Structure 1
């Protein structure tokens, strides 16, 4: 009962990093091998067999934006933990299990987690261990399909042919069309585009700052967050962090209660219209909070056994008072 793990997309200039994880169990599938050694048609055929016959399988995705935020090393760990978390849930649901983990390569992406002791790392395992081969196949098929779909969104790059790698055709498209949100601007060949975007963002921030109140807004926000933290503490929460930041998002309050880790966004509202504050928590904002929450767990392994929940608290008045709390899906 081996859980095999392999990654796809590490060296690409664009697109997600994907980790495949497979427990074959008793399934015997002919022709499993390193996905790079198989034809596209054969990979897709095996992908169907693996998904149908394996005891459990899962994929862990990290977007280009996330990868730029945390770096390749942390991205590999995060993608692996996402895949393993899903595998564990599936195994629990269907009654299967694994007692050994084999990761292709030379780095244990589960180091620092409770599963570390079950891991063996083997170079070229995707050509030697069936479950690792299966993980390699499902990850590559899924990623290739995703990149092919991007041709409709970003015409001119021909992502379906090179799937984001830095081949001559891809480099020419970047020179002619620039970069897309799929591109990894932390990669050295694309660093100049990151500088352009950073300068543009700085100019935008400067313009916004001239039109915003300074001390008053910040002070009100701090008081509002304190009111929310006091409300959580009174409800039995242990406050772990305040204003925990990543590059793209900030979590106002991280707290713990009954082995659940809560990530709370605090919204100040100026009037009695409840939507005035909480309506600002869009789906995109919730995705950013969710990503930041996953990053918090990845950097604080002692909380990996906790369930996670996102919340939002609205505050109003002067001094601010916590009025309503809602759970975010």
Structure 2
């Protein structure tokens, strides 16, 4: 598809945050940007400071033609596995957009099945496609806030600092406290801390 042709269509960028952590949900966002309302400074959320992500997030919500954010909870991750749970979240994020896109640009090298629109996987897309960058920022900021809230509900694990990733601090807390309801029991480091069944 030519650049001119794409500019006449609604193109959605899709990205996730939280595939790697041992705890907490995966957040998936889909964003259709408005070419008449450009947003300066969009980039891969991992390359931006927290302050910069927090500044861009309300601009994306305000200026985008449409956006959606889907939370895939720990139960779904453990039931489906992390890959399929993420693919499901991406498909749902596209369905929930108020405007149906003609094309979805999805970060990574896999596409969800049975999408209603054309789609293209873009490796490193969060650094290449502004719509994917915007989606990555919405997903990351939303997930970070959820992890801070989980830290209040499950104190002692340090969720507000490491956001559920397998840092030495987190692994030490897992060994001392055992997993809480926010942990992904299908992930090996969490499984290793579970008490063996007595039956």
TM-score, normalised on structure 1?
0.55
Partners of 1:141 and 1:68 in 2: how far apart? 23
1:101 corresponding residue in structure 2:
104
Contact 2:91 2:115 in 1 (8 A): no
Contact 2:179 2:194 in 1 (8 A): no
Shift of 1:120: 0.8
Task: Flag the structure with more relative contact order, 1 or 2, with Cα contacts below 8 A and sequence separation at least 6.
Answer: 2
Shift of 1:25: 2.3
Shift of 1:195: 6.2
1:79 corresponding residue in structure 2:
89
1:284 corresponding residue in structure 2:
none
Equivalent residues in 2 for 1:114-153, closer than 5 Å: 114-115=116-117, 118-153=118-153
Partners of 1:40 and 1:143 in 2: how far apart? 12
Whether 1:58 and 2:68 are equivalent positions in the alignment is yes
Contact 2:44 2:136 in 1 (8 A): yes
Number of equivalent positions: 189
1:30 corresponding residue in structure 2:
40
Which one is further off, 70-79 or 37-46?
A: 70-79
Contact 2:174 2:190 in 1 (8 A): no
Partners of 1:104 and 1:134 in 2: how far apart? 11
Structure 1 alignment gaps of length 5 or more: 92-96, 204-329
CA displacement 1:1-49 (0-9 Å, x = unmatched): 2100011101111000111110002230000000000000100110010
1:229 corresponding residue in structure 2:
none
1:113 corresponding residue in structure 2:
115
Partners of 1:7 and 1:151 in 2: how far apart? 21
Q: Return closer, same or farther for 1:56/1:114 CA change in 2, 3 Å cut-off.
A: closer
Shift of 1:64: 1.1
SS of alignment partner, residue 150 of structure 1: helix
Contact 1:43 1:137 in 2 (8 A): yes
Give the aligned CA root-mean-square deviation in angstroms: 1.4
Structure 2 alignment gaps of length 5 or more: 1-9
Contact 1:186 1:194 in 2 (8 A): no
Partners of 1:177 and 1:190 in 2: how far apart? 11
Shift of 1:52: 0.6
SS of alignment partner, residue 103 of structure 1: strand
